[in-house]
A and B are shown apart, each in its own frame.
Chain A
Amino acid sequence: MTLTAQEFAFISGLVRRDAAIVLETGKEYLVEARLLPLARQLGVATVSEFVNRAQHRPEPETHRRIVDALTTNETSFFRDGEPFSQLVSTVLPDMLTRRAANRNIKIWSAACSSGQEPYTLAMVLQDAMPPGWSFDIVGTDISQEMLGRAEAGQYSQLEINRGLPATLLVRHFERNGANWRVSPALRKSVTFKRLNLAAPFPSLGPFDIVFIRNVLIYFDVQTKRSVLQRVASTLRPDGWLFLGSAETTIGIDDRFERVVTGRTSAYRLRSAPKTAPVSALGKG
């Protein structure tokens, strides 16, 4: 561990200012681990030296790359599994009834990192939606580098080995050298945009379903509230919200109510019109 307390404070200040991410003391190992590859890339031997330089010879590009390295979410296909099963068994049947008029579903995958979540949603919807229905998926992230990766839709063997059912692998991916690339059809069904959740964001949506998983945990309570508020405003009144398995809106925003579905929970706005016929739920 080479990082001094002062250097760590500089980094946590930078990340807090640019991305509203909170890095408390105790997270020095994370900074060390995440910045080492970046330091090496830029020809500097230790993280401490790298941070020192970044602090005393500030360059916006370097600062941006530091923030990117620290805000990158680990992600994988079908991460945690359950939310996607519940999407299919509870949420989509509900949507099929409510959107019968225009037969379209819009989903936002926020903080999507290298794109596995939006592509997972695309694969799930392609299988679950009846003919005549369309869906639009938007994946957003603060990091330009991650968005580039997501847009390329190319994954390593280690990445496709995790969580992705083999039947979906052969159906939606093609080998490209040592990597696997999403098929053109799957690629077309997802749009990627750069977006910083902690900053005012351009109007998006309205969405029927929002996935914002494992990113709120990094924010302080105030930022969490502000993000949830803005997410709520992009959500249709009867739309659904999915958070990470260890996250909840309880205590942060009481506009949402928790709906326990199977072994996981999803959230809806309390004011959601409960007009869907009961018999339509749970089918399929």
Chain B
Amino acid sequence: MLTMVIDDSRAMRLILKRIVAQLGFEVVEASNGKEAMDYLTSTLEGGTEAPGLALVDWNMPEMNGLEFVTAVRAEPRLRSMTLMMVTTESEQSQIVRALAAGAHEYVIKPFTPDAIIDKLALLGLLPNGVAA
């Protein structure tokens, strides 16, 4: 499954990429919400495969993660895309805001690879044969 990793930190993109690549997912990176949205728009217009999953940071320049989630959920053609926020924002009110905006899941940094994998299992996104 094509996965987007959206974070302004190259280090964090590398960490997340390593985790999902091990599951056999292909990864596309973006360093902020706007870059990610531009990419999604081009897949929709070009008729190429849109990602099934996006791991999204919150605090990013140009377009932050919350804005990105809101924009994706407003686009009917991206209905089937799963949005998981991966962020340092850990106040209860922030998590509520993210879920209200349409994020499907939420992981707080720091996280272990198992934390991401467990959440993917919950969402039914693990490829067959991979144990939760």
Chains A, B in direct contact (C-beta < 8 Å)? yes
Q: Residues 149-176 of chain A: 1 if any B CB is under 8 Å from the residue's CB, otherwise 0?
A: 0000000011011110111011000110
Query: Is B92 part of the contact surface with A, judged by Cβ < 8 Å?
Result: yes
The reply on B101 being an interface residue by CB < 8 A is no
Q: Is the CB of A162 within 8 A of B106?
A: no
Q: How far is the CA of A162 from the CA of B122 in the complex (A)?
A: 10
A157-B90, A157-B108 are contacts. A166–B95 as well, Cβ < 8 Å? yes
Which of B91, B92, B114, B122 is within 8 Å of A165, CB to CB? B122
Q: How far is B92's CA from A82's CA once the two chains are assembled, in angstroms?
A: 27
A219 to B98, CA, bound (A): 45
- A81 to B122 alpha-carbon distance, docked (Å): 7
With a cutoff of 8 Å between Cβ atoms, the chain A residues found around residue B15 in the complex are none
In this complex, how many residues of chain A approach chain B with their Cβ under 8 Å: the count is: 18
A38 to chain B minimum Cβ distance, whole angstroms, is: 24
B111 with A161: CB separation less than 8 A:
yes
Known: A170-B99, A175-B91. A165 touches B111 (CB 8 A): no
Knowing A157-B90, A158-B112 are in contact, say whether A163-B95 is a contact too (CB < 8 A). Answer: no
Residues 89-132 (chain B) with a chain A CB within 8 angstroms: 90-92, 95-96, 98-99, 103, 105-108, 110-112, 114-115, 118-119, 121-122, 132
Quote the shortest CB–CB distance from A179 to chain B (angstroms).
11
Number of A-B contacts (CB under 8 A): 48
In contact, B92 and A162 (Cβ under 8 angstroms):
no
List residues of chain B with CB within 8 A of the CB of A162. Answer: 112, 114-115, 118
A80 surroundings in chain B (CB, below 8 A): 132
Cβ–Cβ < 8 Å partners of A160 in chain B:
108
Instruction: List A contacts of B90 (CB < 8 A).
Output: 157, 175
Encoded as 1 (CB less than 8 Å from any B CB) or 0, chain A from 161 to 201 comes to 11101110110001100000000000000000000000000
Contacts A81-B121, A81-B122, A161-B107; A167 near B99 (Cβ below 8 A)? yes
- Interchain nearest-CB distance for A242 vs B (Å): 16
Q: Chain A residues near B91: list those with CB within 8 A.
A: 175
Q: What residue of chain B has the Cβ atom nearest to residue A157's Cβ?
A: B108
Which residue of chain B is the closest to A178 with respect to CB atoms?
B90
Q: How close is B117's CB to chain A, nearest CB, in angstroms?
A: 9
Residues of B within 8 A of A163 (CB): 118-119, 122
A278 to B93, CA, bound (A): 45
Query: Which residues of chain B are within 8 angstroms of A169 by Cβ–Cβ distance?
Result: 95, 106
Contacts of B108 in A (CB 8 A): 157, 160-161
A175: B residues at CB distance < 8 A:
90-92
Closest 4 CB pairs of A and B: A166-B106, A161-B115, A163-B118, A170-B95
Residues of B in contact with A (beta carbons under 8 Å apart) = 90-92, 95-96, 98-99, 103, 105-108, 110-112, 114-115, 118-119, 121-122, 132
Listed in ascending order, the chain A residues whose CB lies under 8 Å from chain B are 76, 78, 80-82, 157-158, 160-163, 165-167, 169-170, 174-175
A-B pairs with beta carbons under 8 Å apart, 15 shown:
A78-B118, A81-B121, A157-B90, A158-B110, A158-B111, A158-B112, A160-B108, A161-B108, A162-B112, A162-B118, A163-B118, A166-B95, A166-B98, A167-B99, A174-B92
